[in-house]
Structures are given as structure tokens and as C-alpha cells.
Structure 1
């Protein structure tokens, strides 16, 4: 066993226990391993222990990893999720190389992804990022604008709007954490009532994992608890 495999097992066990604690269905919550800044060898090691979905924030770093895995470990059928801010000049590469995008918060970006998604690939899975805490420093559409934007994006070809994503303002208080995630879930419920078949709530990281699962998360984004502490100086 390795440190990464031990960490993966510990994180998975915690997710399963928290599902049970809050009366969620077994394995209703999936794990997205956030591999930004970590070397591709760490991704390969995690994949060899059963992890499939990996989240990346920085496009060029991600493209290098995707290419390396495809050329050197073609047997690994990995699922790549882009979870960082999206600039207009980056949409083509994202549309061509990723299966999921969690950070769409503008109609212009969604339109570009739709136009640039190759017709030979399945529709690109999209989550609309909501600035659920109203932080000036955070990306995301304001909650009051989320329903209208989601309804417009849902009709674009070559995209499949799967759900919502948020990174709430940090808090160590469980009740405050749950309130933010509950607000995101209510937006999703409103959209479902408007006829959108959404099945994904991408919410919850290492520090607020339990609150997210309690409020309906279907995908948690975990990095350091799997790969270790990041060194942004590299």
C-alpha cells in the first residue's frame, strides 16, 4: 500500500460513513480527486488504486497531464474535470479535452464551449458555478441570476447541463456551512421544477465535506487529503 492509496481509502470510508450518518443513499456521493499542482505520477498512482475522476484548475498543466496519460498509460480511462476560472481564449482546448466543466458562470463561455465541442465527442457535462456567498473575490453567477442563466445554457447543443457548483465562504461552523450548501440545493430544486433534469451538486471540499453531504452533494472535490500538501512555489 502507498500513502496515496491509504489516503484514498480513508477519504472514501469517510464519505461512506457520512452518507450513512445523514441518511443518503450508499455511494450517492462520488469523489473528484483535485490533482492541480501535483505531478502526473500521483494521478497515475491514484488511478491504479481505482480513482477515475480528476479535477484540474490550470489549463496548460492539465493538458500536459492528459497527453502524458494518453500516451503512456492508454489503458487508464480517466475522466477529466476542469474546475478553474475560464478565459475565452481557453474554451477550445477545454471543449476538446475534458469531459466535465464545473466553472461555467457566463453565457458567452457556455456558447463558446458549445460551438467548440467536437461533434465526434459526447456532449460536454456542465455545472453552473454559483457565487453562493456573494464574495467579491470569487467567480460564479449571483444566485439571483442563476435560474435565468441556467435555462439559457440548457438549450445549447453539444452541452449537457448536469447541475451546480459552489465554493462557499470558508467557515468552521457546521450550521453556517450547511446553510450555504442548502441555498445551492434550493436553486437546483427550483431549476428541476422548471423542467431541467439536473443530477449533480458539485459541492464540498476537505474542510466542509460533512456539511455538503448533509445538504445533498453528489460530488465532493478533495485534493490535499489524497495527495498531500500543495507546494505552489514549484
Structure 2
């Protein structure tokens, strides 16, 4: 199948999961992970109605943003780690950052966001499985960082992102997400703009939608293997 057919199939899977979990229609957005994929593939997905695209590498998202700047309603989401020396490029070329996990990066993104742009939407990345090799903060450190980010002038705190360690079963996937959903619900009581729980990829999409995800990140099922 081609990209357009793949997109239709993934959207159906997401919609079916939303219905199965008795959530509102449209409760979960689809972020198409287009890292390493050529512009032509993104254009095909765009023409099939996709608007949200996720990229992991700074220079790649900058190049794609510039090349497709005529497509005004594309929404670029940065979902990779941010090095301090690349923060300005991120602040200038994307609409969302899902991977804020320390004050230093948050400050740089806020200071380097062009003032004529709308605030940069950000999610705080939580290391939900406590993996040493993964980015993200602990749930214990989340409240302080959320307070800090929410008070920066050119950022808009929108929610949380996580990439849990692979689990053996659906039940274990659900269990891993429980404390994250609790933390997300708590944030919603403290801040008015919290509406995004960026969890769920191909391997755990069902558990993520069942755990309150509002945005799933899908790449290979849409664009094929890298």
C-alpha cells in the first residue's frame, strides 16, 4: 500500500481505539513521524490530509520547514533531543517541542523564539520507566519544571510526552502509563492550557489511547521502513 492508504488505515485504527475506550471522537491526534523521509513522502501525506509532522533531527526539520514553507498549515513537531547549540534553530522553525526536560533548554527556547511568532508549544518529557539511556525528568521533578516553564514568556506549556520502555503485555503497558496519566490530570488542575498527552507509538498505541493519550506518534506504519 502507498502512504495515503497507510494513513487511512492508521486513522481508522486510532478512531476505533477512541470508540472502544468510549472517548470523544477526535480525542486523539495523529502525529506522522517523518524523520529521514524525503519531501515527496511528506507532500503525499499532506495531500492525503495529514497536517502534523514529527521530526527528530534539527537540521532535517529546518530544511523541511524551509522547503515546504508554502504549505502554511503544516504543523512541525520536534520530538528529538535538543542540544543547547541547536536550540535557536528549533525555536525558529517548529510549532511544537515535545522534549523539554530541563530549565536551561526551556529558557533558551523562550529567549530565542522570534517575538513576532506565536508562543512555542511545549511538552515536558518524562522518563516514565527510569531508563538511564533515555531523556526526560522524573515524575518527582515534574511539578517544579512545569511551574518554571509555564512562567516563561514565549512558551506555552501544553502537556507531557513519554517513551516508556517496551513491555511484555498490554496490561503491563497500561500499568506503566498509570502514574503518567495521574501527573497529567494533576497538571490540568494547575494550568489552564494543559491539553496534550503525547504517548503511544506503533507498539503500544492501544494502551496509550486507553491511558488518555491525546496524540500518538506513528512513523513506519505510514511511511514504511526506513
**Superposition TM-score, scaled by structure 1 size:** 0.94
Asked whether the 8 Å contact 1:204–1:212 carries over to 2, the reply is yes
Q: In the alignment, what sits opposite 1:53?
A: 52
Q: In the alignment, what sits opposite 1:154?
A: 150
Q: In the alignment, what sits opposite 2:22?
A: 23
After superposition, the CA RMSD in angstroms is 1.1
CA–CA distance in structure 2, aligned partners of residues 204 and 47 of structure 1: 22
Q: In the alignment, what sits opposite 1:193?
A: 189
Deviation at 1:193, TM superposition (A): 2.6
CA–CA distance in structure 2, aligned partners of residues 19 and 189 of structure 1: 19
- 1:54-100 Cα distance to aligned partner (Å, 9 max, x none): 00001111111111112xxx145210000000100111111111000
Pair 1:117-2:117 in alignment: no
Per the alignment, do residues 75 and 86 of structure 1 end up closer, same or farther by CA in structure 2, a change over 3 Å counting? closer
**Structure 2 residue ranges without an equivalent (≥5):** none
1:81-230 correspondence to structure 2 within 5 Å: 81-230=77-226
- 1:197-227 Cα distance to aligned partner (Å, 9 max, x none): 3100000000000000001000000000000
- 1:22-48 Cα distance to aligned partner (Å, 9 max, x none): 111111100000000111111111001
Partner SS for 1:205 = coil
Deviation at 1:148, TM superposition (A): 1.1
Per the alignment, do residues 142 and 75 of structure 1 end up closer, same or farther by CA in structure 2, a change over 3 Å counting? closer
Q: In the alignment, what sits opposite 1:8?
A: 7
**Superposition TM-score, scaled by structure 2 size:** 0.97
Question: Post-superposition, which runs of at least 4 consecutive aligned residues in structure 1 deviate over 4 A?
Answer: none
CA–CA distance in structure 1, aligned partners of residues 211 and 55 of structure 2: 25
Which stretch of the first structure deviates more once superposed, 191-200 or 220-229? 191-200
**Structure 1 residue ranges without an equivalent (≥5):** none
Asked whether the 8 Å contact 1:31–1:222 carries over to 2, the reply is yes
Asked whether the 8 Å contact 2:188–2:195 carries over to 1, the reply is no
